[in-house]
Amino acid sequence: MDEQQLLKDIASREYGEGFETNIRQEFIPKGLSESTIRLISSKKGEPQWLLDFRLDAFRKWQRMTPPRWGHLSRLPEIDFQDIIYYAAPVRDEDRPTEIDPELEKTFDKLGIPLREREALAGVKPKSSVAVDAVFDSVSVSTTFRQHLAEKGIIFCSFGEAVQNYPDLVRKYLATVVPSGDNFYAALNSAVFSDGSFCYIPKGVKCPMDLSSYFRINAAGTGQFERTLIVADEGSSLSYMEGCTAPMRDTNQLHAAVVEIIVEKDADVRYSTVQNWYPGDKEGRGGILNLVTKRGLCKEGAHLSWTQVETGSAITWKYPSTILQGDNSTSEFYSVALTNNWQQADTGTKMIHVGRNTRSRIVSKGISAGHSDNSYRGLVRVMPGAENARNYSECDSLLLGSNCGAHTFPVIRSQNATAQVEHEATTSKISEDQLFYCNQRGISPEEATALIVGGYAKEVLSRLPMEFAVEAKKLLSVNLEGAIG
Amino acid sequence: MNILEINNLHASVEGKEILRGVSLTVPEGEVHALMGPNGAGKSTLSAVLTGRPGYTVTEGSVLYRGQDLLALKPEERSWAGLFLSFQYPIEIPGVSISAFMKAAVDARRKAAGKATLSAAEYLRLLNEKMAFVGMKPEFAKREVNVGFSGGEKKRCEIFQMAMLDPALSILDETDSGLDVDALKTVADGVNALRGPQKSALVITHYKRLLEMVVPDRVHVLKAGSIVAEGGFELVEQIENEGYDSIR
A451 contacts in chain B (CB < 8 Å): 92, 95
Question: CA-to-CA distance for A301 and A480, rounded, in angstroms?
Answer: 41
Q: For A117-121, A150-154, A199-203, which range has the lowest pLDDT when averaged over its residues?
A: A117-121
Strands A286-297 and A314-317: parallel
Domain B2-245 CATH (choose: 1.10.10.10, 1.10.1050.10, 2.40.50.100, 3.40.50.300):
3.40.50.300
CA distance B202 to chain A (A): 17
Chain B, nearest residue to A443 by Cα: B75
CA dihedral (A9, A12, A17, A19) positive or negative: negative
Q: Strand pairing partners for A295?
A: A260, A321
Best of B91, B95, B101, B146 to mutate (most A CBs within 10 Å, chain A)? B95
The whole-number pLDDT of residue A471 equals: 82
Chain A, nearest residue to B54 by Cα: A431
Averaged pLDDT of chain B = 93
Question: CA-to-CA distance for B82 and B167, rounded, in angstroms?
Answer: 6
A438 contacts in chain B (CB < 8 Å): 51, 73-75, 78
CA distance A443 to chain B (A): 6
CA distance A78 to chain B (A): 41
CB contact under 8 A, A441 and B108: yes
Residue A198 φ/ψ, nearest 5 degrees: -145, 130
Helix (H) or strand (E) holding B58: strand B55-64
B86 contacts in chain A (CB < 8 Å): 436, 439
* Residue in A431, A440, A443 nearest the CB of B164: A440
Q: For A99-103, A163-167, B35-39, which range has the lowest pLDDT when averaged over its residues?
A: A99-103
3-class DSSP state for residue B157?
helix
CB contact under 8 A, B53 and A431: yes
CA distance B49 to chain A (A): 11
Q: By percentage, how much of chain A surpasses pLDDT 90?
A: 61
Contact criterion met (CB below 8 Å) for A255 and A187: yes
CB contact under 8 A, B94 and A456: yes
Is A23 or B228 the better-scoring residue by pLDDT? B228
A443 contacts in chain B (CB < 8 Å): 75, 107
> Would you give the distance in Å from CA A227 to the centre of its chain?
10
DSSP annotation of B56 reads: E
From A285, A253, A316, A317, select the one nearest A81 (Cα to Cα).
A253
In this predicted structure, the answer to whether residue A127 has a pLDDT above a threshold of 70 is: no
Contact criterion met (CB below 8 Å) for A49 and A170: yes
Question: CA-to-CA distance for A252 and B131, rounded, in angstroms?
Answer: 56
B99 contacts in chain A (CB < 8 Å): 450
Per-residue pLDDT band for A185 (boundaries 50, 70, 90) equals very high
Best of A393, A436, A452, A460 to mutate (most B CBs within 10 Å, chain B)? A436
A441 contacts in chain B (CB < 8 Å): 75, 78-79, 104, 107-108, 111, 164
The tens digit of pLDDT for each residue in A26-73 reads 888 999 999 999 999 999 999 999 999 999 999 999 999 999 999 999
The whole-number pLDDT of residue A176 equals: 97
- Domain boundaries in chain B? 2-245
B85 contacts in chain A (CB < 8 Å): none
In this predicted structure, the answer to whether residue A4 has a pLDDT above a threshold of 80 is: no
In this predicted structure, the answer to whether residue A276 has a pLDDT above a threshold of 60 is: yes
Neighbours of B16 (CB within 10 A): 6
> Would you give the distance in Å from CA A239 to the centre of its chain?
11
In this predicted structure, the answer to whether residue B79 has a pLDDT above a threshold of 90 is: yes
B104 interface with A at CB cutoff 8 Å: yes
Those residues with Cβ within 8 angstroms of residue A302's Cβ, 6 or more apart along the chain or in another chain: A262, A266, A267, A268, A328, A329, A330
Interface of B with A in 122-161 (CB under 8 A): 143, 160
Per-residue pLDDT band for A214 (boundaries 50, 70, 90) equals confident
B50 contacts in chain A (CB < 8 Å): 439
Averaged pLDDT of chain A = 89
Is B61 or A461 the better-scoring residue by pLDDT? B61
Is A14 or A484 the better-scoring residue by pLDDT? A14
pTM summary value: 0.84
Beta strand extents in A162-298 (DSSP E only): 196-200, 209-215, 226-231, 236-244, 251-254, 257-262, 267-274, 286-297
The whole-number pLDDT of residue A482 equals: 64
From B244, B191, B237, select the one nearest B218 (Cα to Cα).
B237
Residue A357 φ/ψ, nearest 5 degrees: -85, 145
Chain A, nearest residue to B75 by Cα: A441
Is B181 or A305 the better-scoring residue by pLDDT? A305
The residues on A that touch B, with CB distances below 8 Å, are 430-433, 435-444, 446, 450-451, 453-458
Question: CA-to-CA distance for A335 and A363, rounded, in angstroms?
Answer: 6
CA distance A451 to chain B (A): 7
Q: For A134-138, B39-43, B106-110, B232-236, which range has the lowest pLDDT when averaged over its residues?
A: A134-138
The whole-number pLDDT of residue A9 equals: 44
Per-residue pLDDT band for B179 (boundaries 50, 70, 90) equals confident
The tens digit of pLDDT for each residue in B23-60 reads 999 999 999 999 999 899 999 999 999 999 999 999 99
In this predicted structure, the answer to whether residue B194 has a pLDDT above a threshold of 90 is: no
Q: Which amino acid is at A316?
A: W
The whole-number pLDDT of residue A406 equals: 92
Is A238 or A484 the better-scoring residue by pLDDT? A238
DSSP symbols for A111-179:
T----HHHHHH-SSGGGGEEEEEEETTEEEEE-SHHHHHTTT-EEEEHHHHHHH-HHHHHHHTTSSS-T
> Would you give the distance in Å from CA B222 to the centre of its chain?
19
CB contact under 8 A, B94 and A435: no
B75 interface with A at CB cutoff 8 Å: yes
ipTM over 0.95: yes
The whole-number pLDDT of residue B94 equals: 92
Q: Tell me the residue length of chain A.
A: 484
Question: CA-to-CA distance for B205 and B35, rounded, in angstroms?
Answer: 6
The whole-number pLDDT of residue A11 equals: 39
CB contact under 8 A, B104 and A430: no
CB contact under 8 A, B90 and A450: no
Question: CA-to-CA distance for B118 and B113, rounded, in angstroms?
Answer: 15
What's the average model confidence in pLDDT over A348-357? 98
The whole-number pLDDT of residue A121 equals: 45
CA distance B243 to chain A (A): 31
CB contact under 8 A, B95 and A432: no
What's the average model confidence in pLDDT over A260-273? 96
Considering all CA atoms of chain B, what is the largest pairwise distance in Å, rounded to the nearest integer? Answer: 55
Chain B, nearest residue to A446 by Cα: B103
* Residue in B53, B94, B108 nearest the CB of A454: B94
Q: For A10-19, A150-159, A284-293, which range has the lowest pLDDT when averaged over its residues?
A: A10-19
Chain B, nearest residue to A441 by Cα: B75
The whole-number pLDDT of residue A96 equals: 65
The whole-number pLDDT of residue A120 equals: 47
In this predicted structure, the answer to whether residue A379 has a pLDDT above a threshold of 60 is: yes
* Residue in B75, B92, B160 nearest the CB of A443: B75
CA distance A469 to chain B (A): 14
Q: By percentage, how much of chain A surpasses pLDDT 70?
A: 93
In this predicted structure, the answer to whether residue A380 has a pLDDT above a threshold of 60 is: yes
Best of B13, B14, B91, B92 to mutate (most A CBs within 10 Å, chain A)? B92
CA distance B177 to chain A (A): 21
Per-residue pLDDT band for A117 (boundaries 50, 70, 90) equals low
State the virtual CA torsion across A34, A38, A44, A47 in degrees, nearest 10: 110
In this predicted structure, the answer to whether residue A457 has a pLDDT above a threshold of 70 is: yes
CB contact under 8 A, B107 and A443: yes
CA distance B92 to chain A (A): 7
Size of interface A-B (CB pairs under 8 A): 77
The whole-number pLDDT of residue A178 equals: 97
Contact criterion met (CB below 8 Å) for A404 and A375: no
CB contact under 8 A, A446 and B73: no
B120 interface with A at CB cutoff 8 Å: no
Question: CA-to-CA distance for A1 and A10, rounded, in angstroms?
Answer: 12
Q: Which amino acid is at B71?
A: A
Helix (H) or strand (E) holding A447: helix A444-455
What's the average model confidence in pLDDT over A73-80? 92
* Residue in B54, B75, B89 nearest the CB of A441: B75
Per-residue pLDDT band for A472 (boundaries 50, 70, 90) equals confident
Considering all CA atoms of chain A, what is the largest pairwise distance in Å, rounded to the nearest integer? Answer: 69
Is A8 or B228 the better-scoring residue by pLDDT? B228
B119 contacts in chain A (CB < 8 Å): none
B84 interface with A at CB cutoff 8 Å: yes
Per-residue pLDDT band for A22 (boundaries 50, 70, 90) equals confident
